[in-house]
Amino acid sequence: MELIKRAIAAVFDFLQSIVVVLAIMVMIYLFIMSPQEISGQSMEANFHNGEFILTNKIEYKFGDPKRGDIVIFKSPSNKEIDYIKRVIGLPGETIRLSNSTFYINGKKLDEPYLTPGTYTFGGSYLKENTDIVVPPGKYFVCGDNRPHSSDSREFGPIAKEDFIGKALLRYWPFSRVGLIARPTYSLQ
């Protein structure tokens, strides 16, 4: 009889450990980090359809996005869909698109992550050779594959509250595993 009691106690201890581990994993998923699948081609050649990344959900609770951050946010037109884009313009900055080049506060934005020859055109929000000022608390975001990206050129700046988080780590495919670095910019 004592052996059965010990076996039952061991099973309950094991189940309790599993529940604790699962609870911790759910807390991490909800508040700290979550996996995201890249869907579509708006960030090619840097991110490809079917790749998986980890999203840091806590960083923007304590700080603000920076130019070059890869962010995941809720689509402005359908909150059930997540988008991934790169931060181009910060709150209060003046953005201009002229001859396929972004200008921030009158200075050319060098974008080394774009495929050479990428043409950037205006949209219904940001028209060619027109200045816009990014409102307080909002960010101007663009996909790296400009001809195939629905981004702030179309729907305008995104509120920080709509950000899910910052892309932290690519973990699939294994051949491209690594931390996702923010580029350094020189505004000329």
Query: How many C-beta atoms surround the C-beta of residue 40 within 10 A?
Result: 16
Note if 74 is an active site residue.
no
Helix residue ranges, H only, the chain = 2-27, 59-62, 152-155
Note if 100 is an active site residue.
no
**Straight-line distance from the first to the last Cα atom of the chain, in angstroms, rounded to the nearest whole number:** 81
The catalytic position among 42, 57, 149, 152 is 42
Q: Residue 173: beta bridge partners?
A: none
The catalytic position among 57, 74, 85, 175 is 85
Q: Is the dihedral of CA 115, 171, 42, 92 positive or negative?
A: negative
Element at 56 (helix H, strand E)? strand 52-56
* CB contact burial 116-155 (16+ within 10 A = b; e otherwise): eeeebeebeebeeeeebebeeebbbbbbbbbeebbbbbeb
Q: Which two tokens stand for residue 113?
A: 């992550």
Catalytic positions, written as ranges: 42, 85
